[in-house]
Amino acid sequence: MMVRCRICQKGEYKQLFDFGCQPVSHHFLEAGEEGETNPMALGQCSTCGVPQLMEPMPAHSMNPMFDWIKFNEPENHLLDIVRMISSLDGITKDSRILGISKHDKPLLGQLSREGFNRLDQISEKNDLGLSQENASEALVQSYLNRKTAASIIARKGLFDIIVVRRLLEHAFDVSSLLGVLKSLLAPGGNLVLEVPDCKDAFDRIDVSSLWEEHISYFTENSFERSLRLNELQTVEKQTFLYPGENALVFIAKDYKNHSQSHIDQPSKAELTRASAFAETIEKFRKELLEVFETYVSKGGKIAILGAGHRSCTFLNLLGIGKLLEFVVDDDSNKHSLHMPGCRLPIRKSSSLVDEGISLCLLAINPQSEAGFMNGQEEFKRRGGQFLSISPDSTHALRIGSIAKQVAIK
């Protein structure tokens, strides 16, 4: 299956791996409810080198069903971004700055604290015509088009800085969205763009880094190439290190007259990273199923901590949900609900001991693992074991060694 690339609009991308039908990760289910699923397959463009989902789920399907659902993005580098912005030629505390989505509000707050005084934020209701605030990124980017941009310009004018954090990876048409963003810039203006870096996640086979809401999976090289293919010149870039996925921050200017003949081609490493990732996922799946089936047959009982999109992806893409008892999460909003896809019940953490769980998989930020485990003395006293789905964790499941890690005590 060949599809025209939604990023560079020049190449075609071919399918690397078909994950079958997958659920929407935050569409938690009532008892007996089946839930919506959609096809999910990973492909890659040979021109820009960006791995992409072949058929993104419809935007309306990805809107949160509950107003208590929150997604936390890394923010320890916000002051660094402010410094990057402050160092730009022609930028002063009076420069006009516009934030596009809810992920930009923390940075706008940091800019305000640093003395910038002409800050604005797109209203999902008033500027984009959405019926509700706190819409999904999928809806925001699909409603930000030439028509709504023209309306924003008519009422607010043009901006010296456009801030776009954690939105482009959700875009159904990255090329068109970049064109709309450029139209909001005053002459000589800059786009401040942030996307997650998939390089380490793919290299370390972090299955949970795949997500139906993330349509494109960038690295530093492929993102810069994507910008150049869309007539944007990188002014400055930095990578900020975080567990799981690093944050890529680029500042770019409109650059219509450059020659695309000088744009570098994806390296062999770029073109093989995604295919190697997909192939190793299949090996990982087979190993997990074999080991966990044996473990359960000998009386072991497995649960997983964290009722979020990472655990949902891990359980459903690898097909291991049928071997687990339940999902643990101390968010009371989720109790009585079930996970999408595998339909495992969500229970509070005391259930680990109450239900005789012997193996608890950790699907939370590795930095939070120690705090949780330290509070589970009774579980550990009874011989309970913790293993993490995150390759960054010191307790990570190790492909090729899972049978040695998992044992009935």
pLDDT of 224-256, one tens digit each? Answer: 999 999 999 999 999 999 887 899 999 999 987
Nearest C-alpha neighbor of 225 from the set 46, 89, 85 = 46
pLDDT tens per residue, range 196-212: 999 999 999 999 999 99
Both 220 and 296 in one domain: the answer is no
Q: Give yes or no for residue 73 having a pLDDT over 80.
A: no
Mean pLDDT of 8-19: 86
- 259, pLDDT greater than 60: no
Q: Which residue has the tokens 């730009």?
A: 88
* Shared-domain flag, residues 308 and 224: no
Which strands form 185-197's sheet, in the order they lie side by side?
Answer: 119-121, 97-99, 159-165, 185-197, 246-254, 232-240
Instruction: Examine the domain organization and report whether 290 and 368 are in the same domain.
Output: yes
CB 14 within 8 A of CB 44: yes
Phi, psi of 377 (to 5 degrees): -65, -40
pLDDT at 14: 85
- What is the tens place of the pLDDT at every residue in 167-176? 999 999 999 9
State the amino acid at position 111 in one-letter form. Answer: L
Arithmetic mean of pLDDT, 132-161 = 90
pLDDT at 156 over 90: yes
Residue 261 has pLDDT above 80, yes or no: no
Residue range 64-85: mean pLDDT, rounded: 82
Neighbours of 45 (CB within 10 A): 26
The verdict on 364 and 251 lying in the same domain is no
In a shared domain, residues 176 and 285: no
Measuring CA to CA, how many Å separate 362 from each of 97, 177, 314, 359, 396? 40, 36, 11, 10, 9
Per-residue pLDDT for 260 more than 70?
Answer: no
Query: Are 346 and 329 within 8 A, CB to CB?
Result: yes
CATH number at residue 315: 3.40.50.720
Express as a percent the part of the chain with pLDDT over 90: 77
Residue 37 lies in a domain: no
Residue 23 lies in a domain: no
What counts of helices (H) and strands (E) characterise the chain?
Answer: 13, 15
More confident residue, 363 or 70: 363
Q: Are 165 and 68 part of one and the same domain?
A: yes
Is residue 237 located within the same domain as residue 110?
A: yes
Provide the domain count of the chain. 2
Mean pLDDT score across all residues of the chain: 92
Residues 243, 304 within the same domain = no
| Final residue in a domain of this structure, among 224, 256, 288 | 256
Is 180 inside a domain boundary? yes
Q: Provide the CATH number for the domain around residue 64.
A: 3.40.50.150
HSE on the CB side for 57, CA within 13 Å?
Answer: 24
Whether residue 138 sits in one domain with residue 285: no
pTM comes to 0.93
Q: How many CA atoms lie within 13 A of 83 on its CB side?
A: 6
Whole domain around residue 304: which residue ranges? 273-405
In contact, 301 and 325? CB cutoff 8 Å: yes
Residues 311 and 354 in one domain: yes
Residue 202 placed within a domain: yes
φ, ψ of residue 2 to 5 degrees: the values are -115, 135
Q: Is residue 277 assigned to a domain?
A: yes
Asked whether residue 349 is domain-assigned, the answer is yes
Residue 155 structure tokens: 């009422």
How many CB atoms neighbour CB 323 within 10 A? 19
Q: How confident is the model at residue 67 (pLDDT cuts 50, 70, 90)?
A: low
How confident is the model over 358-375, as a mean pLDDT?
95
Q: Based on the domain organization, do 118 and 205 belong to the same domain?
A: yes
User: Could you say which of 256, 289, 308 is where a domain stops?
Assistant: 256
Q: pLDDT at position 258, please? A: 59
Which of the listed residues 256, 291, 308 is the one where a domain comes to its end? 256
- Give residue 169's pLDDT: 95
**221 and 291, same domain (yes or no):** no
In a domain, 340, yes or no: yes
95 within some domain: yes
